[in-house]
Amino acid sequence: MDRRILFIILILFSSCSSTYKFLIDVQVPARITLPVSAQNVLILNNSVTQPIEHGIERNFDGNPIRSDFPLSLDSTVWFAMDEIAVVLNESNFFNTITTYKVPIRDDDEWLSLFYLSPEQQDDYYNRDNFDALLVIERLFLFLKEDIKSIKINAFPLPNEKPTICNVRADGVITCSMYTYGQDKPLITFNASDSLSFQYTDVTDSIFLFKEIPEIILNTLSIDLGNKVAKFFTPTWKTQERNLFVNRNSRMQEALGYASSKKWTNAELIWKTELEKKTKLIDKAKIAYNMAVANEMQDNFDLALEWAQKAKEFMNHEIPDDSKEIKLVDDYILMLNNRIENNLLLDLQWGKE
């Protein structure tokens, strides 16, 4: 079976149901299409660490947390880089993924974007025959931590005070993708995410004022790296499919074949039953099943023909706002989308 579709599980059916539902996994294209030649990627850090006084707000019982609990943001971009490398490697979409563990910039203009010059690009391309550079240009993190003491008259350990800690972090990462032979980035884009955390405990100040917010920021950086990587890799999406069913013994037999993924056998029965039917609505439902059977066999154009034929049959017998018409209309839209996505997937995978 084609890698783009994986039959997972059949669900939600009883003998009196009019439709039989099941789930499939469908591969969807990467959001950014790279040249097929971009197979050996070097990940670079071209950002400047964000100053701690920007975007960070921390309070304890309404007062700013003392400066003797400073946060370190030096590692956040490296967490993002490592996650990008892990996801790209696991995708099997590239030959090699390498991270360059030395920052490029040494200035303090942390909000400014300084793109790589052609000379810089050539230097990195030539280090190990890289043909693409994925560059982190900037990482901007926002954090708000609010810690409050819980007022309890009698507490088992009088020297320790229970607290409730609320933390929310937001982040925006800016990246560029360079490909060999092009002086300017193929694309520069942003990815954003957020993370919230609530913690109630009796604990020490270092854990509350330093360890918790740093864990949150590092975790958020990992999430941002994950999002960046998925811009460049095809992913899987779970979708629902339906079959029309009834109590007819032959239709039940066809369903049995379908539930066992023996789509050719099911299709033969449906084709025979289609020729016997006189009511257009019955023909429409079987034609729809034929469409699904062909999709499951990766015959997408033929599946679309059968779905359109099912719509034609239905148009003669049932109202435009019926649930059957909507089911077929939605399926036709989905099939058209799959056909378009498959063309893009072929391009991304380098298939002729």
For the chain, list the domains and their CATH numbers: 5-29+237-349 (1.25.40.10), 40-233 (3.30.160)
Closest CA to 121 of 34, 39, 189, 185: 185
Q: Using CB atoms within 10 A of its CB, is residue 89 exposed (0-12), middle (13-18) or buried (19+)?
A: middle
Q: Please report where in the chains the tokens 């006189």 appear, as a residue.
A: 278
For residue 151, pLDDT over 80 is answered with no
| Mean pLDDT computed over 286-309 | 98
Give me Rg for the CA atoms of the chain: 28
Percentage of the residues of the chain whose pLDDT score is greater than 90: 73
Amino acid at 297: Q
Q: Using CB atoms within 10 A of its CB, is residue 319 exposed (0-12), middle (13-18) or buried (19+)?
A: exposed
Q: What angle do CA 191, 137, 117 make, to 5 degrees?
A: 140
Q: Which pLDDT value is given to residue 148?
A: 85
Side-chain-facing half-sphere of 1: CA atoms under 13 Å: 16
| Mean pLDDT computed over 274-293 | 96
Q: Which pLDDT value is given to residue 158?
A: 52
pLDDT tens column, 127-140: 999 999 999 999 99
What is the reported pTM? 0.82
Q: Which pLDDT value is given to residue 303?
A: 98
| Mean pLDDT computed over 118-124 | 96
For residue 1, pLDDT over 50 is answered with no
Side-chain-facing half-sphere of 241: CA atoms under 13 Å: 28
Report the greatest alpha carbon distance in the chain: 85
Give the least confident one: 31-35, 131-135, 144-148, 290-294.
Answer: 144-148
| Mean pLDDT computed over 111-124 | 95
